[in-house]
Structures are given as structure tokens and as C-alpha cells.
Structure 1
Amino acid sequence: MWRNITGFLLCMALWVVALPLGAVDWPVSPRAAIAERIVPPYALGEGINDKGVYHLLNSGGAEIGYAFETGPLAPLPGFSGKPINVLVLLKLDGTFIDVKLLSQHEPVFVAGLGEKPFRDFLEQYPGLAITQNLVVGVPYGSGGGGSDLIYLDGVTKATASVRIAHESILAAALSVAREKLAGIGGGASARPDMAVEEDLSWQDLIDQGIAQRLVVTNAQADQAFAGTIWARDDPIAQDEPEGIYIDLWLVDVGAPAVQRAVFGPETLDDLARLYAVSPDDEPLLVMDYGRHGLVSQNFVRNTAPDRLSATQGGFPVALRDADLFVELHPDIPEPQAVMILRADRRLGFNPIADWTLRVQAVREHGMFHPEIGDAHFELTSSAPGRFYVTPKVIKPRSPWVDAIFNRQGDLIGLAVFLAGLLVLLGPGMTRLAGHRHYTAIRLAILAVVIGFVGYWGQGQLSIVTVLAVLRAALGDGSFQVLLYDPFSLLIWGVTILGFVLWGRGLFCGWLCPFGAMQEFAHHLGRWLRLPQITPGRRLDLWLKRVKYLVLFGLIATAFLLPDRAEKMAEVEPFKTAITVHFQREWFYVAYAMLWLVLGTVFFKGFCRYVCPLGAFMAIGGLLRGRDWIARREACGSPCQLCRVKCPYGAIRKTGEIQYDECFQCLDCVTIHDDPAQCVPLILANRKRKAA
């Protein structure tokens, strides 16, 4: 009874893989542990919050960005049930400086491929930015040329694990960006449409609000400093309160039609060259006719203006002098000061959305060591949308959807293969079992399972997945980890369907790549005429209990000693033989080869007696809703032919099928339906002839 209940709970858990659980708590590493991983010319600054986010300093002690762990900020559980923890160094503009692995417990990297491929994957991040559309490409998909997406090379045989790491890195970086980084806004930035032609004059720009003006009188400037020590530090403002302090014009000159209404031929040529070199820069013309000016006397060309700043959507907009000589159109009066600034659209500046230009007014109080005070005056602006084109916003797909798209060809092929197999083993089972070339057909299907499902598709199911689901069911992890490997998930789905229709046999007999390799080893041993070892009935019954002990030992380890669960799961040789193609330490290879060599003389010994996944499949097979192997009254009494011929020992002396040990090889179905082999049919035929 307890096995029925356990099997039901384990199987049903696999159907709720989309249910999100609460975030896994992840402790913040000690500051010293983070500091020792920061190498010159960078240094770790003070902590910002209790989530392990720190200021990152350059060699001069100035802030250059942020350092943080992904574990506390985005604890996305991996297959082990624990998050992958990565140290990220991020510049103030959102560019990755470095990404370093701190800890991980992914089975494929713990004792399979080793950590080197994982660390190599992380080396792709420096130089990229969180403002870019970053996705993990896999050997099954391809990043198309001309796409706005930037593909990171995944790790073959570990696609799901690196996707989890990637999503954790982006989630943590974006959480820091939203809170701390300047100039990173949302949405796609509009770009000038070079094909739009319109004849405009300076007066047209004024009338249509394209050219906008900020006027501040001396009296208004005084009012801004009223009540401070700088209130009377501008004699001119005191003498001429109605005089003009700031008379500033602002024009977004990104559109060619606007440029032609504002500039002379030489400046138009300069802007064309600037656009060719920096197509992501939006040029902004500022002119001042008052006495304030645009910059201070200490301003250096080609740097950020020290008296002008901008914001958009709550984020600062980085402005920089374009360092261009400005030749204005003859219709425009000559200003006191003029310059062309540029804003970077890659950092989120959108010219057709409202943004604010802030002008800083500065006053000094005192003679020898004057105290500096300032006030700000603002002008809100936006460019007309008719001159711009807004690129289509690429909405990032969910990680599991992205995984499906990257493997859509393989998934289609697998779906066709599985559908055909279900037809063969369902409505076509009797015809298949009775085919005169049945053995050759079965071996051909198993060869596809080894090559396509196993080596190419990396669809070897493992007890590791079962343990991850169990931990998630009890709150130590997340079911979402299964969504990162849709190929294996599809096999899981069909396997669970097989529980209801046939029991454990669909997976163990037809879909397990390592089981298929053992069957080929058996046929090789028969071809070489090696002696076959067959345990006695009693020993066979005792050995079949071993796999259940192994299964529950792994479950206990996963909850009592979780750090050792990955090592204990190496009782499965699947990772060595299928996942990493025998490319690992010699003792793992020797262990996997032992079972294959033993399989030449001892029929599928690992599958029948040791496999913890097989034990789980046997328990799940208790959900079987029918006895699909036909029996006759004479089966077992007196006929024992099927029992003797069954290589799995899955038929009792009474003729009853022991479905939790049946691998669905169909040998008994072949005998049952063959008038030349089935003893009851032979005897009945003789009686008919005698009559």
C-alpha cells in the first residue's frame, strides 16, 4: 500500500512543474570573501544593503560600479535544489566588468564535465551590457545574423544549468540597475527616420514647439536664491531686475528636416559624419542669448557640460559635448553661446518621450574661499514623433519558452518519434511483436534511442531529476528547474503516460539510452557465444530488492546530507556513458564500462537490480490501469514457456505478469500469439486436426 501511495505522489509531482515556489533564502557571503576576489585595478567599497551589494572602486578610489552576488538577489534553484552563486562586477553604465563563479552544485558540473566549461561560459559576459538582449544559444539553435539578440554560447550537455545561471545573473544585475544605476531606462529608443522629408524654417520650429525656449529674468534668479547667503551676490541682478539672466533655446536636431532648418552646410556635413561614426547619439542644440552662458570657464570640450544636465523617466541622461563647430542658418540670430550636445540612445534616452533639461545657476559668497551655492531651472522637451521610427520592442521570452524555441527542431523530431513508438506499442503491438523481423526492428529503435535521444538530445532521464522534484515538493527548490530542459521534460511526460498504459516498461524497455546500450551488449555477448549467467529464482528475487534500497538511500541522502547527494547519484553510470561520452576520470569510466561488459554475460544486470531510476519507474508503474499482456487459462498451468523465456524474470509460475519488473520487450506477446510457439495453441491445433 505504501508503495502505491509513494508512486502516486512522485509521479503526480512531475505534472506540476509549472508551479512556482517561494524564493530560496541564500546567505550573504562575508565581505572578506568577496574582497579577496576583487583584483586590481578594482577594489571593494562599502556595502550598500544587506543583500551583498557593494560599491566598486577604481585604483584612484572613485566609484566605477557595483559588486554583488547573484545568490542573495536572485536565488534561482538549479537541479541540486540550490542556487548558482556568481560574483558580478557591473559598471555604472550597466556593462559587465567581470563575472566569477562562487559556488554551484549542478550535478553535471560537480562530477561530470567539471567546472571549467562553466567558468568558460561566464567569461563571455565582460564587455556586454544589461541593456542588450542577451540569450543563451545552444548547439541546437542558432543566433541569426542581423538579429537584435546577442547569443552566448551554451555548454553542450549542460544547457539547462547554464540557462539557470544566465537568468540568475540578469535578474540580479537588473535588480541592482533599477535601484542604483543611472541612465538605464526601459523601452525602445526612437531613431531619426532619414527618409522623412519636410521643408521647415526657424519660425516653423518655434510655432510647432520643436524649438523650445527657457527665459529666466534676473528677478527670478534672485528669487531662487532668496533667503540664502547668496541672495545679494549678483549685483547685476540687483541693478536690473527685469534684465534677462537665462535666455536658452533647445532643439533636438536628430531629424534631417530639423537640421536643415537650423544649420549651415558645413555643420550639416559634420552631423552626417557624426551619425556615420556614432549612429546611437542623438544631437541636441542649445543656444543661450542671456548672460548666464552654457558652461563654466573651466569647461573642457568633448566632455559633459558642467552647467547642463538632463533626466528622463527618473534616470539621469548622460550628456556630452559633440565638439562641433556650429554654423547656424542665416535666419537664426547669433547667440551668446552655442553648442551641440549628444545623448546616447543605447542607454535608454528616447527623444520622442518627455525629458527635462536642467540649467544650473551658480553664485559665490566670499572673497578668498568663497562658498558655492546653486539653483536649477528646468525645461521639458520632446521631439515630434513624425520624424522618428521606433524599433519593434523585443520582449524577452520566458526562459522555458526560449529553451523550446532553441530546440524546436529536436522537439519536433522527438515528438514524431514518441508518437510513432506509442502507436507501435499500442494499437500496433500485436502486429509488431508478430513481425518476422521483430528483433531487428527493436534494435533499430533502440539505436535511435542511443543516438538521437541519448547522445544528440541529451534526453537520458536520471534519478537526479526525481530528487530535485522531491526537494521542490517540500519547499527546498523549485519545479521550474525542469522547464529549462524541454527535451527531457517531453520524455518525462510520455513516460508518465506510459505508467498508466503499460507500467514501467515504456521507459525502461524502449526509451532509456543506457538500458538500450546494455541490450546491445547482451546481443554482442550472444553473437560472441559467451556463456550467460542466470541467477536462480530465489537469488533473483533478493537482487531485485537492491534497487529499492538504493533509491531510498539516495532520497535519505538528498534530505539529510544534501551536499553529498550529487556524488551518491553517481551510482547511475548515465552521466558518464551518455551525458559526457565517457570523457571524465578513469574510475567513472571503468564503473560504466563494468556494467556494459557485464551485460554481455549477465542480462541487463544494472537495470534489473541496481538502477534507482528503475526502482522509481517500478513504483510509478503501479499507476497502471490495465493488464495489457493477454493471458490464457493454461498460462502457468501447465504451460511455463513464457516464464522460462522471459529474460527479466517478470512472469510468476502461475503465469501472472509481474508488471513492476516487466520491461515491455514483447517476447511473451510474440509467443502468446504465435501458433507455432504457444503450447496451448499448439495443443488446440492438434486437437482440431485429430477431430
Structure 2
Amino acid sequence: MRALFLSFCLMLTTLAAGADPLTPDQIASYVKPPLLLGEEVDETGVYALIDVYGKPAGYVFETEPLAPLPGFSGAPVNLLVMLDATGSFIEVRLIEQNEPIFVSGLGVAPFEKFLEQYRGLNIASPMVVGTPYGNSGGGASALTYLDGVTKATASIRIAHETVLAASLAVARERMQGVATAPPRAPDLDHDEPLDWAALVAQGIASHHLVSNARVQAGFDGTLWAGDDPEALADPEAAHVDLWILDLGPPAIARAVLSAQALEELQQFQALSPHDEPLLLIESARHGLVGEDFVRNTAPDLISAQQGGLPVALRDADLFVELAPGLPEGRAMILRADRRLGFDPTSEWELTLQIQRAHGSFQPVIGSRSFGFTHATPERFFLSETGPSALPPWQEALRGRAGDLGLLVVFLGGLIPALLLGQSRLAGLRTFVPLRLGVLAVTLGFVGWWAQGQLSVVTPLAVLRGALDGGSLAFLLYDPVSLLLWGAAVLGFLLWGRGLFCGWLCPYGAMQEFAHHLGRWLHLPRLPLPDAWDRQLKWLKYAVLATLVAIVLLAPAELETAAEVEPFKTAITTFFLREWYFALYAAAWIALSMVTFKGFCRYVCPLGALMAIGGLLRLRRWIPRRPECGSPCQLCRVRCNYRAIRPDGEIAYDECFQCLDCVTIHDSPTQCVPLILARRRSEARAQNLW
């Protein structure tokens, strides 16, 4: 096995080939009349679009040269984007992708359906992948929501960020009136003494009032003219009393926030350095959000624009406690992404939507919008810097926060129990039901719910990314799997492959349940002869070596070859695939009813990789006695994995940490040496009498 491991390492030195860019003729085939393909405008493969009269009409380009954000295959998703002269999407087409879920799991149809949503949208419009929260009663939303693809959220985010990053790069370089200035970041070293009076006097805190009379004037002559008795009764009172401040500069934030709120803001800025925090304080009767507003989403009653282009605002979900002396009212902190062109030093407009409802049953909603301008002095910000496009890993973390929290609790209970209480755990009379309960959580929560089934595709994608010199940031798009990989690596040091293969693999758990079902049905056991078992255990290493060779020599075929793993079928898609994939995955489950976990032991390439990783194991964690193996063979006979050699030594590269041998070793009624020792002791006691 060590020789195979060395061969595996040597294979990592070969480089994989990348995809060639499309030729002009190939690009022209995607361009439909009345547009025509023009000349190439730069070395990144951006081509002009022209109309039938030869006039400029937009641009067409592949995303890979401009935004090579790696996907889960390790390779970028390559898309063809067509923009008109105003920055609106004419078409977004899929050129090449190797995302595992779309190659053969869901197929490319859902991916292509997702890309159709860009048609007609403008690059300057704030777009997010997801579903709008709340119901504003028919009011317009400031964000454009793109429907994602179930079970493929991370891959869709990668594609969306690829489209935006590449399109903004072209827009900034080529499109007058659409291009936005590089973002300005707050100068963290700039400091000056400020208090509330100074903020107001210098216009750093802008104040905006809208009276009841002004709002009423907006609704006069409409269905909703009489639907606000309070406005009619007191027209001079304030309907909106709004303060706006930019909290990005530390000097401003220190002047308006309490110590606790300031600390939370600083933590937010460290995690989201490209987001500009904007404080709103509303002291009158209107408020800032509707009743159905959900934290950490786009505000339903607030939008913004700058230079005629929308600015995406989103709740920062931060604790807001104001310093003494500030206006009292409802306060919230919004965030605007500077990477998308928001410049805090240039005047921007915040729009507040005021709604009225007519009728008590299914009321008709009417709205009027009021705009307020704001800008922050340039001295608080650094000079302009170049654009920086980062993968939205923060968004992925927030989206999976609940699953991550539950997984941390699960791992935080399981790992210490196995490390510190192994013998006590194995000695419980209820150990088997307890183990099956843990495996049920692994299958149901980790696998089917959290979609945390690890696959050999991920380390192979890391290999390909490393050889190609690409970023490995794609790993952050699936934080649940990344956490499981971290647990597996920790398991290498403490137990070898046992932690993951024995406790955390959903498909392995499914096979173990099949084994117990076979015992319940009184099906015969069909173990392979020892000689066959020893030879077949090498098969998984051959499968792994073949996949590595494919990555290096024919990477386009990897996703097809990786179907040797039935995980995508059984866990990711719940067997809802083509019949031959479903039959293949189910056949291994059925086989496990008579031959214990045959796929895991003989074929699984991920198991082979885990066994190689197990070479990092730092200790022999299964207790042994001198009598183990000679004369006692009980543990070896009972081991379903055949991971105990005739001499009693444990083959840790084949051990799945089921703890059956630990149970036997510690049991005075099962362990033969303990039984014989007890009998000898009893005999000596009788002789003494």
C-alpha cells in the first residue's frame, strides 16, 4: 500500500490541460440577427456586437478569461455573455461546466433554465440568487431575485458571481455611462474628534423631514386620500423624521454607537470588508420596514440609487445601540457593496416608500416614494483602488448557518465521545441502538438534509486546481462539506479512516442499515473467501489511481468516471435519476444485506483516499492483549470488516471504527482471556477453601 501511495504522489506532478477559447466562428453562431459579430476588442476575448448598419450594439465575451472562479470540479464555469450598449443582458449561454450536480445528477437543463432569467436585466441592477422575503403589499422591490436550483445553490452562486464579475469588468472598461468608478474604502487610519453636534454641523449626518401634509398631497385625488386619519388631523406633524450616516469611517462610527454596537460593527467590517454600513434613524411615525420584513434581507420599503443606477441595500443584521445624545427612534444598519460601484463620497439617493391600504378585507395597497440625498466627505476615505471580485463565501456561510450550527453540535458530541469515552461507549448495553441512532443522523441530516456527502470529486478538483494554479476558493461555497472534510482530517490523526468511514459517511450508513435489515429478514450471509477479500481490498486503490490519471490526462471525462461513486444518486438526488444510475446505487445497498458494506471495502475511491490519509494516524487506539491472535481469534472472527490480522494486530487502513472488537475486549463475558483468567481465579479460590 505504501508503494501505491508513493505512486499516487508521483502522479500529482503531471499537469492537466485546459479548455481552448471559442473561435470567432463559434461565437458568431450564438449571435442572432439583427446583431452581428464584430471585431475582437482586447486580448481577453471580448468581441464587439454590431447592428446591420455596422454601428456598435454591445459586446459578447466568454466569462472564463475575465472571471475564472473555480467551481466544484476545480474548473471555472464558462459562459457566453452578450450585453447591449446600455449594459442589458441580451443572452447568457452555457459553454462548458463540470459541476458534479449538473453533469449527470440533475442534468444541464435546470442550469440553462436559470441562465434564461438574465435576459433583459441590466448589469447595473442589483441581482441576488434567492427568494424575496416578506410581502410589501404589492410594492416594488429594490432587488431583482433570480430563482436558484434546488440542491445546486452553491454551484448556481458560482455561476452568478461569474456572470456579474465578468460583465462588470467589461462594463467598467468599455461602456460609457454604465461603467462605475472603482470602489473607495474607508480610511481606517483617519481619526478626528467628532460628536453629534459636529456631525450635524458638517452635514456628515443628514436630516430629512416629510410632513403629514406632504404625504397627504401625494395621495390627494387617489383611492387612498382618506385612509390616514392621523395625517388629516395633524398635517404639520412629521410623518418621516430621518437621519442618514455612513458608519464605514471609524471616526463617525465611534461618535454615534455604543461600545458594544461599535465592537459588533468592527467584527462585521472584518468579515465583509467590501460592504459599506449605512445607519438610518427614523424618529417619526413611519418607521423603516414593513411588518413582514425579515432580518438580513433587502428592506421592503427602502431602495437607493447613485448616478442613475440602482444600489443594492441589505440589512446588515447588526445590533444597534446609539450613543447618548443622539435622536431617539428606530435605527437599523444597511449595507451596500462597494464592489458593485457604490461610492460613499458621491451623492446618492435613498428612496423611502410610504404605503396606504384601502379596505379591510384584501386591502388595495397604494404607495408614494420620497427621495433623500446623502454623501460623506472624501477625507474619510482612501483614494480610488482597482476593483476586487471575491467569491461570496460570507453569503454561503449565512445561508448555511443553521445547518452548520447543528453539524457543529453533532460533531462536538460525537468526536469527544469517541476520543474520551470509547470503552464506556462500546460497553453500553444499548451501544448498537445508539450507534444506529448516530448513523440515522448521519444519513438523514448530514446526507439528505444538509447535502454533506463527501465525494472523491472534491479532492480531485483540488488537485486539478493546484496543478492549474487556480484558486481553491470554491471549497468555501459549501461550508457544510468543508467542515466535514476538516473533521475527516482530524480523524486521520486520531483514528485513521475510521471516523469518516465508520460514522460520518451517509452512504456508508445506508449500507449498514441494509446489513441490519438483512439480519432482521434472516437472509444468509455471503462473505467472500479470505483470499478474495484480501485481493479485492486493493481494487479501491486502483479505482482511485484511475480517477487521478483521468484528472491529469482527460479531465473532461472525470465526471463520467466519478459515477463509480453512487453517492450522487443515493444521497444528492434521492435516487431520482436515470434508471441505470438508480439500479447501480441500489444494487450496492442490496448487496450489503448479505455481504457487509461491499462497496466501502472493495470499490470506494473516497475510502481509498481516506485510507491513504490514515497514514497520518498518530496512535494505536484499539486495545490489544498478548493473547489476541494467539490463542484467541474471537475479535478477528467477529470483525465484519476483516480488519484484524491472524496475529491479532489491527489493519487500521481497513478499520471502520465500529468498536465491536472494543466491546469484546472489555467484556468479562465475551473476551476469552478475561473468561479464562476469571475461571483460574475462581479455581484458586475454591482450592483455598
TM-score range with shorter-chain normalisation?
Answer: 0.5 to 0.7
SS for the counterpart of 2:446 is helix
TM-superposed CA distance for 1:630, in Å, is: 0.8
Structure 1 partner of 2:199: none
Change (3 A) 1:150 1:420: farther
Structure 2 partner of 1:169: 163
TM-superposed CA distance for 1:121, in Å, is: 1.5
Larger deviation: 70-79 or 40-49? 40-49
TM-superposed CA distance for 1:112, in Å, is: 1.4
Please give the alpha-carbon distance, in whole angstroms, between the structure 1 residues aligned to 2:17 and 2:135: 38
How many positions carry a matched residue from both structures?
509
Change (3 A) 1:676 1:590: same
Change (3 A) 1:352 1:668: closer
The amino acid of 2:308's aligned partner reads: D
The amino acid of 1:441's aligned partner reads: L
Change (3 A) 1:85 1:187: closer
Structure 1 partner of 2:499: 506
Answering whether residue 174 of structure 2 is matched by residue 180 of structure 1, we say: yes
Structure 1 partner of 2:508: 515
- Counterparts of 1:21-420 in structure 2, within 5 Å, are 27-58=20-51, 62-137=55-130, 150-184=144-178, 185-186=180-181, 344-346=308-310, 353=346, 388-390=373-375, 398-420=391-413
TM-superposed CA distance for 1:552, in Å, is: 0.5
For structure 2, which runs of at least 5 residues remain unmatched after alignment? 185-206, 210-216, 222-305, 312-340, 349-370, 382-387, 685-689
Please give the alpha-carbon distance, in whole angstroms, between the structure 2 residues aligned to 1:152 and 1:562: 31
SS for the counterpart of 1:97 is strand
Structure 1 contact 7–623 (Cα < 8 Å) conserved:
no
Please give the alpha-carbon distance, in whole angstroms, between the structure 2 residues aligned to 1:387 and 1:37: 44
Larger deviation: 79-88 or 42-51? 42-51
Please give the alpha-carbon distance, in whole angstroms, between the structure 2 residues aligned to 1:110 and 1:404: 25
Structure 2 contact 46–60 (Cα < 8 Å) conserved:
yes
TM-superposed CA distance for 1:118, in Å, is: 0.7
TM-superposed CA distance for 1:406, in Å, is: 1.1
Change (3 A) 1:180 1:435: same
Structure 2 contact 8–545 (Cα < 8 Å) conserved:
no
Structure 2 partner of 1:665: 658
Q: Which string of whole-angstrom CA distances, capped at 9 and with x for unpartnered residues, describes residues 241-284 of structure 1?
A: xxxxxxxxxxxxxx999xxxxxxxxxxx99x99xxxxxxxxxxx
Answering whether residue 673 of structure 2 is matched by residue 680 of structure 1, we say: yes
SS for the counterpart of 2:104 is helix
SS for the counterpart of 2:429 is coil
Please give the alpha-carbon distance, in whole angstroms, between the structure 2 residues aligned to 1:350 and 1:414: 39
The amino acid of 1:649's aligned partner reads: R
Structure 1 contact 66–90 (Cα < 8 Å) conserved:
yes
Structure 2 contact 11–548 (Cα < 8 Å) conserved:
no
Change (3 A) 1:665 1:354: closer
The amino acid of 1:170's aligned partner reads: L
Change (3 A) 1:149 1:664: farther
Structure 2 contact 172–181 (Cα < 8 Å) conserved:
no
TM-superposed CA distance for 1:400, in Å, is: 1.6
The amino acid of 2:572's aligned partner reads: T
Structure 1 contact 133–150 (Cα < 8 Å) conserved:
yes
Please give the alpha-carbon distance, in whole angstroms, between the structure 1 residues aligned to 2:656 and 2:662: 12
Q: Which string of whole-angstrom CA distances, capped at 9 and with x for unpartnered residues, describes residues 34-79 of structure 1?
A: 1221223433333322322222345665433222111222222323
Change (3 A) 1:614 1:680: same
Please give the alpha-carbon distance, in whole angstroms, between the structure 2 residues aligned to 1:113 and 1:569: 15
Please give the alpha-carbon distance, in whole angstroms, between the structure 1 residues aligned to 2:622 and 2:344: 72
Change (3 A) 1:72 1:57: same
TM-superposed CA distance for 1:592, in Å, is: 0.8
TM-superposed CA distance for 1:444, in Å, is: 1.1
Please give the alpha-carbon distance, in whole angstroms, between the structure 1 residues aligned to 2:389 and 2:83: 21
SS for the counterpart of 2:468 is coil
The amino acid of 1:427's aligned partner reads: L
Please give the alpha-carbon distance, in whole angstroms, between the structure 1 residues aligned to 2:43 and 2:168: 17
Structure 2 contact 16–464 (Cα < 8 Å) conserved:
no
Q: Which string of whole-angstrom CA distances, capped at 9 and with x for unpartnered residues, describes residues 652-681 of structure 1?
A: 111111100000001011111111111111
- 445, 459, 465: which one pairs with 1:466? 459
- 621, 627, 636: which one pairs with 1:634? 627
The amino acid of 1:167's aligned partner reads: E
Please give the alpha-carbon distance, in whole angstroms, between the structure 2 residues aligned to 1:4 and 1:687: 47
Deviant stretches of 4+, over 6 Å: 6-11, 22-25, 144-147, 347-352
Change (3 A) 1:499 1:43: same
Please give the alpha-carbon distance, in whole angstroms, between the structure 2 residues aligned to 1:495 and 1:134: 36
SS for the counterpart of 1:52 is coil
- Counterparts of 1:496-575 in structure 2, within 5 Å, are 496-575=489-568
TM-superposed CA distance for 1:514, in Å, is: 0.6
Change (3 A) 1:541 1:688: same
Please give the alpha-carbon distance, in whole angstroms, between the structure 2 residues aligned to 1:145 and 1:660: 56
Change (3 A) 1:10 1:415: farther
Change (3 A) 1:45 1:162: same
- 586, 606, 609: which one pairs with 1:616? 609
Change (3 A) 1:650 1:256: closer
Structure 1 partner of 2:190: none
Please give the alpha-carbon distance, in whole angstroms, between the structure 2 residues aligned to 1:38 and 1:123: 15
Change (3 A) 1:176 1:188: closer
Please give the alpha-carbon distance, in whole angstroms, between the structure 2 residues aligned to 1:670 and 1:354: 72
Please give the alpha-carbon distance, in whole angstroms, between the structure 2 residues aligned to 1:343 and 1:483: 34
Structure 1 contact 460–512 (Cα < 8 Å) conserved:
yes
Structure 1 partner of 2:587: 594
Please give the alpha-carbon distance, in whole angstroms, between the structure 2 residues aligned to 1:86 and 1:542: 46
Q: Which string of whole-angstrom CA distances, capped at 9 and with x for unpartnered residues, describes residues 339-370 of structure 1?
A: xxx97354979898499xxxxxxxxxxxxxxx
Please give the alpha-carbon distance, in whole angstroms, between the structure 1 residues aligned to 2:60 and 2:152: 27
Structure 1 contact 27–72 (Cα < 8 Å) conserved:
no
TM-score (norm 2): 0.67
TM-superposed CA distance for 1:632, in Å, is: 1.1
The amino acid of 2:47's aligned partner reads: Y
The amino acid of 2:65's aligned partner reads: P
The amino acid of 2:449's aligned partner reads: W
Task: Give the share of equivalent positions with the same residue, in percent.
Answer: 56
Structure 1 contact 159–485 (Cα < 8 Å) conserved:
no
Please give the alpha-carbon distance, in whole angstroms, between the structure 1 residues aligned to 2:424 and 2:484: 25
Change (3 A) 1:10 1:625: farther
Please give the alpha-carbon distance, in whole angstroms, between the structure 1 residues aligned to 2:547 and 2:345: 60
RMSD of Structure 2 on Structure 1 (CA):
3.8
TM-superposed CA distance for 1:153, in Å, is: 2.8
Larger radius of gyration between Structure 1 and Structure 2: 1
TM-superposed CA distance for 1:126, in Å, is: 2.2
The amino acid of 1:180's aligned partner reads: R
Please give the alpha-carbon distance, in whole angstroms, between the structure 1 residues aligned to 2:641 and 2:560: 29
Structure 2 contact 346–375 (Cα < 8 Å) conserved:
no
Please give the alpha-carbon distance, in whole angstroms, between the structure 2 residues aligned to 1:108 and 1:682: 54
The amino acid of 1:164's aligned partner reads: I
TM-score (norm 1): 0.67
- 599, 602, 623: which one pairs with 1:606? 599
